[in-house]
Amino acid sequence: MISFVLGVEDLADTRFAVSPLHETVLSLRVLRDPGLSALHLPWRRSVLPRLGALDTGLLMSLVGRRHTLPDFLTPRPMDFAPAFDDELAAARRASPGLVRRDLLAAHAPDPLPEALQDAIDPDDEPVVRLRDTVCELLRRYWELAIEPAWPQMRLVLEADMTYRARQLAVGGARLLFADMHPNLRWHDGVLHIDKMIGRHRVAAAGRGLLLVPSVFAHKPAPPVSPDEPPMLAYPSRAVATLWAPNPAADATALASLIGAPRAGLLHLLAEPLPTVEIARRLRVTPSAVSQHLRVLYATGLVTRARDGRHVLYRRSSLGDQLTDRRRPAQITIS
């Protein structure tokens, strides 16, 4: 069990952060052990073919046999939503002594894998070289495996934080932690994290508590070292929605949303057309067309540009997205 002793000031300084580097590093567990979370199997299947050029042996060696990870690769986020490059720069600044400590701790009691043997070199230069190699490899892995899905992942994480903030406001720390994971227990100012490899107690002592929701965490994940300030990555809600296939497009949905006449106009405006030409094609009056065009323009679904005496209308990029893969509605304007 790992415990965080939190005073009143530490609770007042409890905050949340979204960390792209944490997600990148925690995803290595799923990559190495597909049985860890069936929810992520669709992601894993889609990612593996992209990693052919990477040193996956070195990547996998970062994960201990008991799924522990080196703390220096998950530095404490200083902002609510730091950029990946800023977090990686912090990891690159880890001292050789810290790199040694964290790699050995992640693999204890086992020896270090062959790919990480430079970490136990008495000279600092091989350790620094290994650190920089690992960080550069993580950057390339992020670009291939995590960054393409990061916007969707961040939406899930931010939604989780909104929910947690409400739990904290309604029921205090007890309700916040009781609802977060079965392994968490709040009692008498101490947050207990059960079923941990480590056995230590950390006094926050004014450093607060940082909570990091994670798509890839399968259980609460505090730092391995007792020397690190209190931080807890925990499993986010609604992760199952991330990799679910998009529903098939409903050809009638757009017409139901904005009406059949305007849906039909959107399909017609794949090319720039003036009002009079639209009216001619539909065999209606220009004024009838103008009424619908004004609404479509005001909602950002069409753009307009003047060409001599005529104003040309065309679907906007948003209009393109709405009409994508949907059959044109029958156009009837009155």
State the DSSP string of 223-234: -SSTTSPPEEEE
CA–CA distance, 108 with 106 (Å, rounded to integer): 6
CA–CA distance, 173 with 166 (Å, rounded to integer): 11
58 by Cβ neighbours in 10 Å (0-12 / 13-18 / 19+) ranks as middle
Q: What pLDDT, on the 0 to 100 scale, is given for residue 75?
A: 96
Q: What pLDDT, on the 0 to 100 scale, is given for residue 247?
A: 60
| Integer CA distances (angstroms), 75 to 94, 103, 127, in order | 9, 14, 18
Q: What pLDDT, on the 0 to 100 scale, is given for residue 267?
A: 87
Q: What pLDDT, on the 0 to 100 scale, is given for residue 329?
A: 46
Q: pLDDT in tens for each of the 334 residues of the chain?
A: 999 999 999 988 999 999 999 999 999 999 999 988 889 999 999 999 999 999 999 999 999 999 999 999 999 999 999 999 999 999 999 999 999 999 999 999 999 999 999 999 999 999 999 999 999 999 999 999 999 999 999 999 999 999 998 888 888 888 899 889 999 999 999 999 998 988 899 999 999 999 999 999 999 999 999 999 999 999 999 898 888 776 665 667 788 888 888 888 888 898 889 998 898 888 888 898 999 999 999 999 999 988 778 899 999 988 888 887 444 444 555 5
Which residues does residue 2 pair with via DSSP β-bridges, in sequence order?
Answer: 193, 200
CA–CA distance, 323 with 319 (Å, rounded to integer): 6
Q: What pLDDT, on the 0 to 100 scale, is given for residue 122?
A: 93
Q: What pLDDT, on the 0 to 100 scale, is given for residue 332?
A: 56
Q: What pLDDT, on the 0 to 100 scale, is given for residue 326?
A: 46
CA–CA distance, 225 with 278 (Å, rounded to integer): 69
Contact 312, 272 (CB under 8 A): yes
Q: What pLDDT, on the 0 to 100 scale, is given for residue 41?
A: 93
Give the orientation angle of helix 275-282 with respect to helix 286-298, to 10 degrees. Answer: 120
Do β-strands 273-274 and 310-315 pair in parallel, antiparallel, or remain unpaired?
Answer: antiparallel
Angle at 203 between CA 198 and CA 206, to 5 degrees: 140
Contact 316, 301 (CB under 8 A): yes
- What pLDDT, in 10s, does the model give residues 218-256? 999 999 999 999 999 999 998 988 887 766 656 677 888
For residue 148, is the peptide bond before it cis, meaning its omega torsion is within 30 degrees of 0?
no
Contact 217, 235 (CB under 8 A): yes
- What pLDDT, in 10s, does the model give residues 144-170? 999 999 999 999 999 999 999 888 888
This prediction has a pTM of: 0.74
